[in-house]
Amino acid sequence: MSSPDDRKYTKEHEWVMIDASAANTAVAGITDYAQDQLGDIVYFELPNVGDNVAHLGKMGEVESVKAVSDLFSPIDGVVTEINEKLLDHPELVNEDPFGEGWLIKAIMADAAPLDSLMSAADYDAFTAGN
């Protein structure tokens, strides 16, 4: 499946998209490729609302049955919301990684780092080579 072209992508397989519903806010998650590689996801360790997250800094962890991986923030800013549904239903990320399975929303301190991330086409080419 090709990644949606309404957002940007990191080499660590996170996505980030401007959230039109709130000023200076972006929403982030992990990609379909990432959820597929992880397999059944059972647990997320996410930052708290109010925490600072740094662009490409560690923001949490994701655990699948077989593996644990660090999550990196594509956003530079302050967390305003986390996806509470994932506490009881982490499998939402397997089912809908680009939609219902979003991870965090944050107010951007600086939107410039987003420009350095990959486009959907670049990301799909990047993962095709893996």
Partner 1 sequence: MTSDNLQTGLYDTHVSLGGRMVEFGGWDMPVQYPDGILAEAKAVRTAAGVFDVSHMGRLYLSGPKAGEFLDWVLTGSATTLRVGRARYCLICNENGGVIDDTIFYRLAEDRYLLIPNAGNRAAVVAWFRRWIDERFSPGCTMEDVTITTGLIALQGPGTPELIDKIADDQLSAMRTFSWAESTIQGTPIFVGRTGYTGEDGFEMLVQSNDLVSVWTALTDAGAAPCGLGARDVLRLEAGLPLHGHEIDEKTSPIEAGLDRFVRAEAEYVASDILQGQMNNGVPRKLVGFTLPGRSAPRAGYSLLDRGETIGTVTSGSYSPTLDTSIGMGYVLERYVELGAVLDLDIRGRTVTVTVTALPFYTCPRRT
Among 5, 45, 110, 122, binds partner 1 (CB under 8 A): 45
Task: Tell which residue, 81, 71, 70, 88, has the closest CA to residue 107.
Answer: 81
Residue numbers 60-79 binding partner 1 by CB under 8 A:
61, 63, 65-66, 68
Q: Taking the complex as a whole, how short is the minimal distance between the CB of residue 99 and partner 1, in angstroms?
A: 19
Q: How far is the CB of 86 from partner 1 (least distance, A)?
A: 11
Least Å distance, CB 67 to partner 1, is 9
* The residue to which tokens 């951007």 are assigned: 108
Report if residue 43 touches partner 1, rule: CB under 8 A. yes
Q: Kind and range of the H or E element at 78?
A: strand 77-82
Question: By C-beta, is 67 or 125 nearer to partner 1?
Answer: 67
Size of the site for partner 1 (CB under 8 A): 12
Cβ(44)–Cβ(86) below 8 Å: yes
Q: Closer to partner 1 by CB, 41 or 75: give it.
A: 41
Question: Least distance to partner 1 from the beta carbon of 90, Å?
Answer: 7
Q: Where are the alpha helices (DSSP H) in the chain?
A: 32-38, 85-88, 92-95, 120-128
- Cα-based distances in Å from 11 to 21, 32, 38: 27, 13, 15
